[in-house]
Structure 1
Amino acid sequence: MPKPAVRKFVVQVEEIFHEGGPVRAEPVKRGAVLAVIENPFAGRYVEEITGFMEDLKPLGLEMAQRLLNSLGGDPSKVEGYGKGAIVGGGGELEHGALWHNPGGYAMRELLGGAKAIVPSTKKVGGPGARIDIPVTHINASYVRSHFDAIEVGINDAPRANEIVLVLAMTTGPRVHARAGGLEAKDIKGEDGLR
């Protein structure tokens, strides 16, 4: 298949100093990069679609690098990540599932082989649809302080023949995390869970 046709990129970054509790000296940054691409399968059922995952790999790396740059450029500062997709109404949920491999592996590669599975979500929606991107710690999915979500969307996307691809990263836990459980300092790093 041809290289994915990108209509636009959107990058958003939050810097969170507090949520009513003690003010942090350095904010937690939460960011997302979104790419609006043409869905090559829109409007019809196509049996064999897995080849498109290979076509999406360079875009995944480009998006991950854009996002990392927007968070300061230092991979060692990234502690959480997630991914997702919104498929326009001319497509199907399975088209969003094609983002699992290229989106997740792009971030893991850029971050130096992060161990945890990259949490994901997907849906079908029209222009202005919003989606919550789940976030977990990059090396241990059970680190409770990093269970989070980032809501994203674009006012004019996805059109019926488009897909919005999303990557998300954070530089720390929820700003006032205190719900117990496994802490980042106690990660063993054996299995991506603990």
Structure 2
Amino acid sequence: MIDIRRIVTSVEDIFHEGGPCAETPLRRGSIAAVLTNPYAGRYEPDILPMMEALNPVGLDMAKRLLAAMAVPASDIQGYGKGAIIGAAGEQEHGALWHVPGGYAMRELLGWKGDAAAYAKGQSSGGQSGNALAIVPSTKKVGGPGCTLDVPLTHINASYVRSHFDAIEVRVPGAPRPDEMIVILAMSTGARVHARVGGLAADAIAKWDGQR
């Protein structure tokens, strides 16, 4: 069911955005896999088999991205995911990436929750470790070369305002109508000139994935 045509990885270091240079540049990275959409061109009522098939893809992509960013897992502070579906598919096909993509990064970064409950969209009571926050996501149907702004938030608390960010992802020549692109993204910190207040990363208190 999984036929990958291309994998594109991008890593950038941001030193400043017009203000003073950061002591440590912000590193952001993304990885995008272009694969055949087995449901393209028709309405398929049961698409869940592909979600299961994508689980190892998510883990492999998360590991590839972390290796490309060349930092330890403990340095990752932000993450996000997304999907672009070719014109012969539908937006719901991109939703198949929510569990495989999100769980893969959370597992790699130290999440200790209930994977079965997470896969069913249920509360993962008793979660611990790192990567407590839900992984933000976006998806759309688009043609070859279209871009997707993938949202990023703090891995342990969705309300950490300094880490609200987005990274633009584009794969030239993809997706073809019968393809889809699944995307993961990570960052090492806050926006380089973050200064709009709100909950700070060092003030996370509840450890519930939100505040």
Instruction: Kindly report structure 1 stretches of 4+ aligned residues shifted beyond 2 Å.
Output: none
Q: For residues 210 and 110 of structure 2, what CA distance do their matches in structure 1 show?
A: 17
Paired residue for 1:42? 40
Paired residue for 2:29? 31
Task: Indicate which of 135, 144, 147 corresponds to 2:164.
Answer: 147
Q: For residues 189 and 35 of structure 1, what CA distance do their matches in structure 2 show?
A: 35
Paired residue for 1:193? 210
TM-score by length of 1: 0.97
Question: SS of the counterpart of 1:90?
Answer: coil
Paired residue for 1:20? 18
Q: Percent identity?
A: 61
Task: Indicate which of 125, 148, 155 corresponds to 1:131.
Answer: 148
Question: SS of the counterpart of 1:37?
Answer: strand
Paired residue for 1:83? 81
Q: For residues 20 and 194 of structure 2, what CA distance do their matches in structure 1 show?
A: 12
Partner amino acid, structure 2, of 1:125: G
Q: For residues 56 and 29 of structure 1, what CA distance do their matches in structure 2 show?
A: 27
Query: Residue 116 in 1 paired to residue 114 in 2?
Result: no
**What is the CA distance between 1:73 and its match in structure 2?**
4.0
Q: For residues 205 and 31 of structure 2, what CA distance do their matches in structure 1 show?
A: 30
Cα deviation 1:96-141 (Å, max 9, x = unaligned):
0000000000000000011000000000001011010011000000
**What is the CA distance between 1:61 and its match in structure 2?**
0.4
Question: SS of the counterpart of 1:118?
Answer: coil
Report how many aligned residue pairs link the two structures. 192
Partner amino acid, structure 1, of 2:18: G
Partner amino acid, structure 1, of 2:168: E
Cα deviation 1:78-100 (Å, max 9, x = unaligned):
00000000000010000000000
**What is the CA distance between 1:189 and its match in structure 2?**
4.6
Paired residue for 1:184? 201
The question of whether the paired residues in 2 share the 8 Å contact of 1:139 and 1:189 is answered with: no
**What is the CA distance between 1:169 and its match in structure 2?**
0.2
Q: For residues 184 and 61 of structure 2, what CA distance do their matches in structure 1 show?
A: 7
Q: For residues 147 and 160 of structure 1, what CA distance do their matches in structure 2 show?
A: 32
Task: Indicate which of 90, 94, 97 corresponds to 1:99.
Answer: 97
The question of whether the paired residues in 2 share the 8 Å contact of 1:116 and 1:141 is answered with: yes
Consecutive unaligned residues in structure 2, runs of 5 or more:
112-130
TM-score by length of 2: 0.89
Judged with a 3 Å threshold, the aligned counterparts in structure 2 of structure 1 residues 60 and 167 are, in CA distance, closer, same or farther, namely same
Consecutive unaligned residues in structure 1, runs of 5 or more:
none
Question: Alignment RMSD, CA only?
Answer: 0.8
Cα deviation 1:129-173 (Å, max 9, x = unaligned):
101001100000000000000011111000000001000000000
